[in-house]
Amino acid sequence: MKESKRAVSSILVDDDDDDDDDDDDDVEKVSWSGEPVGTFSEASTRVYAPELRKPKSECKDYFSDWSPEETVKRMRKGKVYSLERFRSLQDKLLLLDEAVSAHDGNVITAVLIYLKKSLSKEIFFQELMVREIALRHYVHYLKEMEEQKTLVELMKLPFSQDDAIHVQDHYTLLERQIIIEATDKKGEAEIFKKFPRKASILNMPIITTLYYSCFYHYGESEGTFSSPANIRSTFRISEKQYILTALGARAKLKSWFDVDSLFNTKNWLGYTKKRSPIGFHRVVDILQKNNAPVQVLKDYVSLIDDAELKLSLAQKYKCHDIVIEMYRDLKDRQQLIVYQGKVERGSHEDRKIDQLLGNMQIRWKN
Amino acid sequence: MAQTDRRDAPGLPDFSLLKRLARDQLIYLLEQLPGKKDLFIDADLMSPLDRIANVTTLKQHEVDKLYKVELKPVVSVSDQLCFLIRPRIQTVKWIADVVKSDKAVGRFRRYKIIFTPQKFYACETVLEEQGVYGDVTSDEWEFYLLPLDDDIISLELPEFFRDNFLEGDQRWVTTAGSALRLLHFLFGPFSKVYGIGRCAKMVYESWREQVEDGEKKAQNPDIGNVFLIDRDVDFVTPLCSQVVYEGLVDDIFRIKCGSVEFGPDVTSTDKSLKVMLNSQDKVHVGETQRKKEIWWEKQRKKKRCGMDIKQMKAFVAEELKGLKQEHRLLSLHIGACESIMKKKTKQDFQELLKTEHSLLEGFEIRECITYIEEHINRQVSMIESLRLLCLLSLTENGESYGIEHLLSFANLRQIGLLVEQQPGETLTVMESKVGKLVNDKTAGKLTDAFSSLAKKSNFRALSKRLMLIPKTGEEYDLRVPRDMAYIFSGAYIPLSCKLIEQVLERDGWTGFEEVTRMLNGHEFAVTGPEDSKYPQRIILVMFLGGCTFSEISALRFLGRERGCKFIVLTTAITNSSRLLESLLDNQG
């Protein structure tokens, strides 16, 4: 019995398990041509299977009675089934939809494998695009089978507006990176000699690319592909994200002037003032990590809104003038005295504190 | 570990039957290939198999040599090769290669593949496509359930989470349904079924169908009610640092199938030792466990950095001296505690917990963000940083100011790789790790994963509605824990467990519409007969996608409070590391 089972295994999927309640044990296994296979003798065939003498087209094969619903049911239970009878596109799609509604990933994938073999790629992909669950199963299957090529083709298709933009972005970025890479690889400019690149820009994420651009191509006009301004507008990078990234890059290069310009805006009167979409305490933090000198740090510490935070950071980074001024504003004599102990004797700060302490007009609170 | 019970609490069914059934079926399958054979075992199956049939048993059934499945050519000289594997295409491809290379050199052998818990059609297709379908026999070993403790059963399918929730692949739905069917057959019939989550619904329907087709049997049921819950209904809980003992041990040492391997630094010898962490481990019966937890809590609360190992040793020796006979195990656990404390002190556990609790509460978020930034910059542990980012994202409902910028911080660290820091400086191990972590695809995937997680998350609103954060008025006395928050030092009641508690109390979801809306629906409740023969106080809770030791502890507590018993059925034991690793392994 096992040998005969194997003989038809290429056509039917067999189930070797013993199903106690399997009523198919009595089903005669037939080969594709309709000839009986197995241990039945010729005589018994004629007696027990009269339908085999009928013309092939009228042959009521047991399998052809199985609807998509029936087939999926059988597949879920590991029983014998056949998918080959689903030949029209309509039948195939009914089968797929039935599998999906049964929630059984094993069956869904099996049906997809069959469809992949019996449909052209275009039609198959077309149908997948409007069936999200089936699509996910197919993607997972391709990943496991390591069929990257097919995956890439699938991924190129526009599934939704969002996806289309996403994919478009990805390719645009890659294009840009290729152009930038081609020039920068030669490393002719001064900056490349001072700060040699460790890796190529290809396939790096957007923000990394922006950072790279802020590092190596700062100040270039928006017209060039490699300029930060161009990358910012092409990929619709938010102001916050841009400033954060540019800050990191310019601070690393110790270009304090550039850092300064990042925060300049003109108010309605035409006066320049400083503002930042990220808190100035964070700016200070980044600058400090890049070893910015106190002169630079203090400018930004002084811009911190939150008084407590400002005071603590000023103390941390030894921005004496700011600390002194704040204690003066708080009219906190005691603290000022304490702080005097922390500054260098005879220094400018020391004298400043002396001056303040001696000022009769200040109404100290303690 | 199960603890002392109220005297009126119901008894649990005996799940060791499951092991015997699995064992018997495996032996039967091995005997289908008579004669000496070499057995190749999937790495993931080695620990579970060890709990079912050890090497001696296998050898008694003509298994000659045992090998771990590794994707390289086999060195076995046996004429019969048997493969015990999970139904993975990659593994089947390797087996096909083994068969083909044998064929190529004219070597004839018998090959048998035992898929467990079941075989997938895609695997058969691979065999067919590779032209070896006729050369191998295949079987299914229906090993669905592994008891890890008196009240914990695992499907040992860690891939369930990734396949189902990240890949959207429903291949394991029927498997979960079959696991339920088996329990239903042996210990049912179940009376009521409650559930929440898309997968839970599918599993319920699959189970229902399987039961309808199967045998009907009237029996004295041992399990009354069932609760099915998807992991993605509550992502926050598994991301929190665990402070219950098993949770800690799992986080640090990785518990496998209920036992843990302690290395030489713990055993104080030059050998490693495997220890079972369950009720059979006498050290953890009753008061001992509680005392240890309380002590641990006291230590954690101490404001100063660093914990006093001497004090702990003294405490443990003093308070637990009644268990002198258990001394060997005791010293092992002390060693484990020491190791945990060393590691945790290095990471400044207290600060970390404080930040987590603030995130859960929604308090001082700016400070939390600063802490996370610092954490990333210090590069102590990228997985930890990632975990905090996820927690921030989920509790703040994905406020982008948090996530994108922090991710870009991680990016910025990586960018250090692009530019020479100082001449002659080489990449540190950490930097390469970071680089690997936040490469092109991963960064994109992470942002996507965060935003999709966050989109679905209504944590803040849920937390308020369900009162998951106990009021920080009075000091929370862990000696007399008053609610499930004690498993997180009084800071947070796990959302998943709270839901279970509430639904059981209400006998359904009526009146809870607001909550189910915030959880994105898919709730269901199927009431059954109110017959007294159904043990209403034994409740099976099935976690689809994994369950943490913290949640198990919380349910045990709830059980003690309510005079009922919870049996936790989970697709796998999980924790934050495993969850995040699934997220990261999920390469586009």
pLDDT, tens only, A317-342: 889 999 999 998 888 888 888 898 88
Pairing of strands B565-570, B152-154: parallel
Rounded Cα distance, B456 and B397, in Å: 8
Rounded Cα distance, B149 and B568, in Å: 10
Tokens 């991680």 correspond to what residue?
B410
Q: Which of residues 212-241 of B touch A (CB under 8 A)?
A: 213
Rounded Cα distance, B398 and B392, in Å: 8
CA of A70 to nearest chain B CA: how many angstroms apart? 14
CA of A42 to nearest chain B CA: how many angstroms apart? 27
CA of A268 to nearest chain B CA: how many angstroms apart? 28
A100 within 8 A of A133, measured Cβ to Cβ = yes
Q: Does B444 touch chain A (CB under 8 A)?
A: yes
Burial of B49 (0-12, 13-18, 19+ CB in 10 A): buried
Burial of B360 (0-12, 13-18, 19+ CB in 10 A): buried
CA nearest B141 in A: which residue? A17
Residue from B370, B419, B442 to probe the interface with A (highest A Cβ count within 10 Å)? B419
**ω into residue B73 within 30 of 0, thus cis?**
no
Cβ of A241 within 8 Å of Cβ of B405? The answer is yes
Please tell me which of the candidates A77, A133, A289 has its beta carbon nearest to residue B168. A133
| Cα A63–chain centre separation | 45
Tell me the chain A residues in contact with residue B213 when contact means C-beta distances shorter than 8 Å: 21, 77
Cβ of A207 within 8 Å of Cβ of B133? The answer is no
Sign of CA dihedral B208, B214, B216, B220: negative
What was the pLDDT predicted at A3?
40
How many separate helices (H) and strands (E) can be counted in chain B?
25, 14
The predicted complex's ipTM stands at: 0.80
| Cα B252–chain centre separation | 14
Rounded Cα distance, A90 and A115, in Å: 12
Please tell me which of the candidates B118, B171, B439 has its beta carbon nearest to residue A109. B171
B264 within 8 A of B579, measured Cβ to Cβ = no
**What would the two tokens of residue A328 be?**
């003066």
Please tell me which of the candidates A104, A199, A289 has its beta carbon nearest to residue B418. A199
Tell me the chain A residues in contact with residue B133 when contact means C-beta distances shorter than 8 Å: 9-10
Rounded Cα distance, B565 and A191, in Å: 69
Rounded Cα distance, B110 and B99, in Å: 9
Could you write out the three-class secondary structure of A60-110?
Answer: CCHHHHCCHHHHHHHHHCCCCECCCCCCCHHHHHHHHHHHHHCCCHHHHHH
Tokens 């030792």 correspond to what residue?
B273
Mean pLDDT by 10 residues, chain B (588 residues): 52 91 95 94 94 93 95 93 97 96 94 96 95 95 95 96 90 97 90 94 94 72 93 92 84 80 72 68 46 55 42 55 51 68 66 88 84 73 77 70 51 42 36 42 51 67 92 69 87 95 93 90 84 81 97 95 94 91 59
Q: At residue B482, what is the residue type?
A: R
CA of B168 to nearest chain A CA: how many angstroms apart? 6
Longest dimension (CA), chain A: 128
Backbone torsions φ then ψ of B24, nearest 5 degrees: -60, -40
B524 within 8 A of B474, measured Cβ to Cβ = no
Rounded Cα distance, B321 and A95, in Å: 68
Sign of CA dihedral A265, A266, A272, A273: negative
Tell me the chain B residues in contact with residue A107 when contact means C-beta distances shorter than 8 Å: 121
| CA nearest neighbour of B1 among B337, B286, B242, B250 | B286
Cβ of B167 within 8 Å of Cβ of A140? The answer is yes
Q: Does B428 touch chain A (CB under 8 A)?
A: no
| CA nearest neighbour of B557 among B508, B506, B493 | B493
CA of B570 to nearest chain A CA: how many angstroms apart? 19
Burial of A110 (0-12, 13-18, 19+ CB in 10 A): buried
CA nearest A3 in B: which residue? B134
CA nearest A155 in B: which residue? B588
Mean pLDDT, range A192-213, rounded to an integer: 84
> A41-55, A221-235, B549-563: which has the minimum mean pLDDT?
A41-55
Tell me the chain A residues in contact with residue B408 when contact means C-beta distances shorter than 8 Å: 207, 241, 244-245
What was the pLDDT predicted at B65?
95
CA nearest B214 in A: which residue? A21
**ω into residue B494 within 30 of 0, thus cis?**
no
Mean pLDDT, range A34-60, rounded to an integer: 45
Cβ of A136 within 8 Å of Cβ of B169? The answer is yes
Cβ of B174 within 8 Å of Cβ of A106? The answer is yes
Could you write out the three-class secondary structure of B51-67?
Answer: HHCCHHHHHHCCEEEEE
Pairing of strands B538-544, B225-230: parallel
Please tell me which of the candidates A108, A196, A245 has its beta carbon nearest to residue B420. A196
What was the pLDDT predicted at A362?
83
Please tell me which of the candidates A106, A136, A204 has its beta carbon nearest to residue B167. A136
Q: Is B483 helix (H, G, I), strand (E, B) or coil?
A: coil
Size of interface A-B (CB pairs under 8 A): 130
Cβ of B168 within 8 Å of Cβ of A137? The answer is yes
Rounded Cα distance, A29 and A42, in Å: 14
**Distances from the Cα of B241 to the Cα of B198, B250, B375, B547, angstroms:** 27, 11, 15, 14
Element housing B395 (H / E): helix B382-395
B38 within 8 A of B63, measured Cβ to Cβ = yes
Rounded Cα distance, B279 and A8, in Å: 53
B378 within 8 A of B370, measured Cβ to Cβ = no
Rounded Cα distance, B127 and B106, in Å: 19
Pairing of strands B80-85, B63-68: unpaired
What was the pLDDT predicted at A104?
96
Rounded Cα distance, B221 and B171, in Å: 30
Q: Residue length, chain B?
A: 588
